[in-house]
Structure 1
Amino acid sequence: MTSRYYVTTPIYYVNGAPHIGHAYTSVAADIIARFHRLDGREVFFLTGTDEHGQKVEQAAAQAGQSTLEFVDGISRNFKDMADAMGISYDRFIRTTEARHKDAAQALWRQVAENDHIYLGAYEGWYALRDECFYSEDEITLLEDGTHIAPSGAPVTWVKEESYFFRLSAFQDQLLALYEAKPHFLGPAGRRKEIISFVKSGLRDLSISRTSFSWGIPVPGDPKHVMYVWFDALANYLSALGYPDMQSEGVRFWPANAHIVGKDIIRFHAVFWPAFLMAAGLDLPDAIFANGWWTIEGQKMSKSLGNVIDPRDLASEFGVDAVRFFMMREVPFGGDSDLSRKSLINRVNVELANGLGNLAQRTLTQINRHFDGKLPEWGETQKDDRDLLAQSSLLPDLLRQHVARFALTDGLEAVWKVVRACNAYIDHQAPWVLKKTDPARMGTVLRTLHEALRHIAIVLQPYMPGTMDKLLTQLGISQNARQLADLAQGDIEAELPAPQGLFPRFVEEGA
Structure 2
Amino acid sequence: NCGFEEARSDECEKCGALYDPSELINPKSKITGQSPFLKETSHWYFPLGKYQERLEKYVIESDEKYKWKENVLQYCRGWFKDGLKDRAVTRDLDWGIKVPIDNATGKVLYVWFEAVLGYISATKELFKSKGDLEGWRDYWQDLSTRYIAFIGKDNVVFHTIIFPSMLMAWNDGNADKYLLPENVPANEFLNFEGKKFSKSRGWGIDVGEFLDLFPADSLRYTLASNLPENKDTDFYWKEFQAKNNSELADILGNFVNRTFIFAHKHFEGEVPERNELIQIDTEMIANIKSYPEKIAKLIENYKIRDAVFEMMNLARAGNKYFNDSEPWVSIKSNKEQCSTTINICLQTIYTLAEVFAPVIPFSSEKIFGMLNVSPGMWNDISESTLNSGHKLGKSEILFIKIEDEVMDAQINKLGKVEEAETYDVPLISYEDFSKIDLRTAKILSAENIKKSDKLLKLRVKTAGGQRQIIAGIAKHYKPEELIGKNVIIVANLKPAKLMGNESQGMVLAVEDSDGKLNVVQVSDASKPGTNVR
TM-score, length basis structure 2: 0.65
Does residue 212 (structure 1) correspond to residue 94 (structure 2)? The answer is: yes
2:62 corresponds to 1:181: yes
Alignment partner of 2:9: what SS?
strand
Are 2:156 and 1:269 equivalent residues in the alignment? no
- Tell me if the contact between 2:72 and 2:184 (Cα under 8 Å) persists in the aligned partners: no
**5+ residue gaps in structure 2?**
1-7, 30-34, 172-177, 409-533
Give the counterpart letter for 2:376 in structure 1.
R
**Is 2:61 aligned against 1:170?**
no
- Within the candidate set 482, 486, 489, 2:377 is matched to 482
Q: Is the 8 A contact 2:9 2:21 kept in 1?
A: no
**CA distance, structure 1, for counterparts of residue 330 and residue 39 of structure 2:** 80
Does 2:353 match 1:456? yes
For residue 81 of structure 1, what is the aligned residue in structure 2? Answer: none
- RMSD over equivalenced CA pairs, Å: 2.9
1:195 is aligned to: 77
* Aligned CA distance change for structure 1 residues 358 and 487 (closer, same or farther; 3 Å): closer
Q: Computing the radius of gyration over CA atoms, which structure comes out larger, 1 or 2?
A: 2
Assess, with a 3 A threshold, how the Cα gap between structure 1 residues 334 and 481 changes in structure 2: closer, same or farther.
Answer: farther
1:241 counterpart SS class: helix
Say if 1:335 and 1:191 are closer, same or farther in 2 by CA, change over 3 A.
same
Residue matched to 1:279: 170
What secondary structure is seen at the aligned counterpart in 1 of 2:185? Answer: strand
Relative to structure 2, which stretch is displaced further, 180-189 or 253-262? 180-189
Cα separation, partners in 2 of 1:214 and 1:239, compared to 1, 3 Å: closer
Residue identity matched to 1:427: D
Aligned-partner residue type, residue 483 of structure 1: W
Shift of 1:126: 3.5
Alpha-carbon distance in structure 2 between the residues aligned to 1:495 and 1:196: 57
| More helix per residue | 1
Where does residue 300 of structure 1 map in the other structure?
Answer: 197
CA shift for structure 1 position 135: 4.8
CA distance, structure 2, for counterparts of residue 331 and residue 232 of structure 1: 25
User: How far has the Cα of 1:286 moved from its partner?
Assistant: 1.1
**One-letter amino acid of the counterpart of residue 134, structure 2:** S
- Which residue of 105, 117, 138 maps to 1:251? 138
Instruction: Give 1:288's aligned residue.
Output: 185
Counterpart pick for 1:234 among 112, 117, 122: 117
Q: Structure 2: how far apart are the matches of 1:289 and 1:423?
A: 36
Is the CA contact (8 Å cut-off) linking 1:185 and 1:269 kept in structure 2?
no
Indicate conservation of the 8 Å contact 1:363/1:474, yes or no: no
Deviation at 1:214, TM superposition (A): 2.9
Q: Deviations for 1:196-245, whole angstroms, at most 9, x for unmatched residues?
A: 21221111010012333332433445522111111100022112228999
CA contact (8 A) 1:351 1:502 kept: yes
Corresponding residue SS for 2:381: helix
Relative to structure 1, the CA distance from residue 186 to residue 305 in structure 2 (aligned partners, 3 Å threshold; closer, same or farther) is farther
What is the identity, as a one-letter code, of the residue corresponding to 2:70? A
Output the CA distance in 2 between the equivalents of 1:283 and 1:376.
Answer: 52
Of the three residues 12, 16, 19, the one matched with 1:134 is 19
CA distances 1:335-366 after superposition (whole Å, capped 9, x unpaired): 22111000000000000001000000001100
Q: Deviations over 1:449-486 (max 9, x none)?
A: 1111111111111111110001111222x2x4321442
Change (3 A) 1:434 1:278: same
Picking from 335, 338, 350, the partner of 1:441 is: 338
* Cα drift, residue 315 of structure 1: 2.3
Q: CA deviation at 1:184?
A: 6.0
Residue identity matched to 1:444: T
Partner amino acid for 2:154?
D
Equivalenced residues, count: 376
SS of the residue corresponding to residue 239 of structure 1 reads: helix
Q: CA deviation at 1:307?
A: 3.4
Distance 1:260 1:170 in 2: 23
**Residues 371-429 of structure 1, C-alpha deviations (whole Å, 9 max, x = no match):** 11100011111111111111212322222112111111111111111111111111111
> Could you tell me whether the CA contact under 8 Å between 1:402 and 1:410 is conserved in 2?
yes
Instruction: Write the distance in 1 (CA, Å) between the matches of 2:103 and 2:275.
Output: 78
SS of 1:298's equivalent in the other structure is coil
Residue number among 149, 155, 160 corresponding to 2:41 in the alignment: 160
1:387 aligns with 2:272: no
Contact 2:259 2:342 in 1 (8 A): yes
User: Are the counterparts in 2 of residues 295 and 306 from structure 1 also a CA contact under 8 Å?
Assistant: yes
Question: Aligned partners of 1:160, 1:489: CA distance in 2, in Å?
Answer: 70
Aligned pair in 2 of structure 1 residues 500, 156: CA closer, same or farther (>3 Å)? farther
Higher RCO, Cα 8 Å, sep 6+: 1
Partner of 1:320: 217
3-state DSSP of counterpart to 1:481: coil
State the 1:190 CA deviation: 2.4
The CA distance in 2 between the partners of 1:459 and 1:291, in whole Å, is 24
Q: Contact conserved, 1:178 with 1:184, CA < 8 A, in 2? A: no
Quick check: 1:262–1:289 contact (8 Å CA) kept in 2? yes
Of 310, 327, 342, which residue of structure 2 is paired with 1:413?
Answer: 310
Letter in 1 for 2:365: D
Query: Contact conserved, 1:354 with 1:422, CA < 8 A, in 2?
Result: yes
The 5-angstrom pairing of residues 38-117 of structure 1 reads none
My pick for the range that moved more, 389-398 or 429-438, is: 389-398
Q: Which consecutive unaligned segments of at least 5 residues does structure 1 have? A: 1-124, 149-153
Q: Distance in 2 between matches of 1:383 and 1:333?
A: 38
Contact kept, 8 Å, 2:10 with 2:21, in 1: the verdict is no
User: Which stretch of the first structure deviates more once superposed, 435-444 or 241-250?
Assistant: 241-250
Distance 1:412 1:176 in 2: 35
Tell me how far 1:369 sits from its aligned partner.
Answer: 0.5
| Offset, 1:187 | 2.4
Which one has a larger percent strand, Structure 1 or Structure 2?
1
Normalised TM-score (structure 1):
0.68
Distance in 2 of aligned mates of 1:187 and 1:367? 48
Once the two structures are TM-superposed, the CA of residue 285 in structure 1 deviates from its matched residue by 1.0
Task: Tell me the amino acid that sits aligned with residue 188 of structure 1.
Answer: E
Equivalence for 2:299: 402
Distance 2:325 2:198 in 1: 52
- TM-superposed deviation, 1:502: 0.6
| AA aligned opposite 1:379 | E
How far apart, CA to CA, are the structure 2 residues paired with 1:158 and 1:355? 62
